[in-house]
Amino acid sequence: MKNGHVQTIFQTLFRRSPQISYTRERIPTPDGDFLDLDWSARGSRDLIIIFHGLEGSTSATYMQSMVRSGNLSGFDTVACNLRGCSGELNHTVRAYHSGATEDLDTILKHIVSTRLYHHLFLIGFSLGGNLVLKYLGEDRFEHPEIVCGGAAVSVPCDLEGASRRLHHFQNRMYATRFLHRLKQKLIEKSETFPETLDRDRIRNIRTLWEFDDLYTAPVHGFRDAKDYYRQCSANNFLKTIQHPTLIINARNDPLLSSSCYPVEEARENPVLFLETPQSGGHVGFITFREDRRYWYEIRICEFFRSILQEI
């Protein structure tokens, strides 16, 4: 299974989900919206906070598998649904995007104010990985000493490069699937916000770049798609990350451009660790073990355990 597309597709179509029994918590956002958090606790004082990728959710196999792996490694876990991804449309015209770290900040502040954890760790997949890296680089959290480390898997560190890569012919099936789901959700939302969202215009969107140009960028305060990509790419924030952070990007990831492998940034930042396995695809890294854990899940938990030992 060395082919990047096989690695990518296998996780979605053929991997058996562990079917985690979540406890859901809904929290408000400062702008009158909500975020749904799904908890899987085992009584630990160390918590892993996990964020999904584009049009994912906490029910995705890779999310539930990471939750299970974290629990098996002795951590409490909370899987976070980004706005509008928990099965219910969010309340505002805005949604989630690759740079919306204000929602991560809301989640962390809520956790610190309502629960007693000694150490917090962040994990993000794909778009969620870009969010985690950007957030750690911004260092905007009021209690940075509680955040002990992060990990990001299959991260489009350069959003423009990844967007162009996604529109290559060989990636058409991924782009088509993402765009269909995004448009359907936006069409449904247009019933609530007809003055802002033009249903006919949404239906005529043909590419993800156009989707970001017509919706993501203007609704969230960017000039256009290019400006959105430029301001929100994780590459801009890697040099200022101050917590031990692991990036895992496979070299055969079909969705990542060459600019998504921040080799120089990792060399210059002593707490930033970049690992680029030859194979793995996009959130793949298939591993056949009796405990059904994939390589990256074990690697991330080992990384977090090593941080705790240092502490």
pLDDT in tens, 75-106: 999 999 999 999 999 999 999 999 999 999 99
Residue 1, pLDDT > 90, answer no
Structure tokens at 110: 């809520």
| Alpha-helix runs per DSSP H in the chain | 4-13, 61-72, 101-114, 127-138, 159-166, 172-190, 199-203, 208-211, 217-219, 225-232, 263-268, 295-310
Q: What is the CATH number of domain 4-158+238-310?
A: 3.40.50.1820
Domain ranges within the chain, ordered by starting residue? 4-158+238-310, 168-232
Average the pLDDT over 194-207 and give the result. Answer: 95
Give the single-character DSSP code of 169. Answer: G
Q: How confident is the model at residue 117 (pLDDT cuts 50, 70, 90)?
A: very high
**Closest by alpha carbon to 102, among 110, 114, 93, 112?**
110
- Residues with a known catalytic role: 126, 253, 282
* pLDDT at site 290: 86
Pairing mode of beta strands 46-51, 34-40 = unpaired
Residue 141, pLDDT > 90, answer no
**pLDDT tens digits, 31-60:** 999 999 999 999 999 999 999 999 999 999
Residues in a beta bridge with 39: 23, 78
- pTM above the 0.75 mark? yes
Q: Are 81 and 52 spatial neighbours (Cβ–Cβ below 8 Å)?
A: yes
* pLDDT at site 52: 98
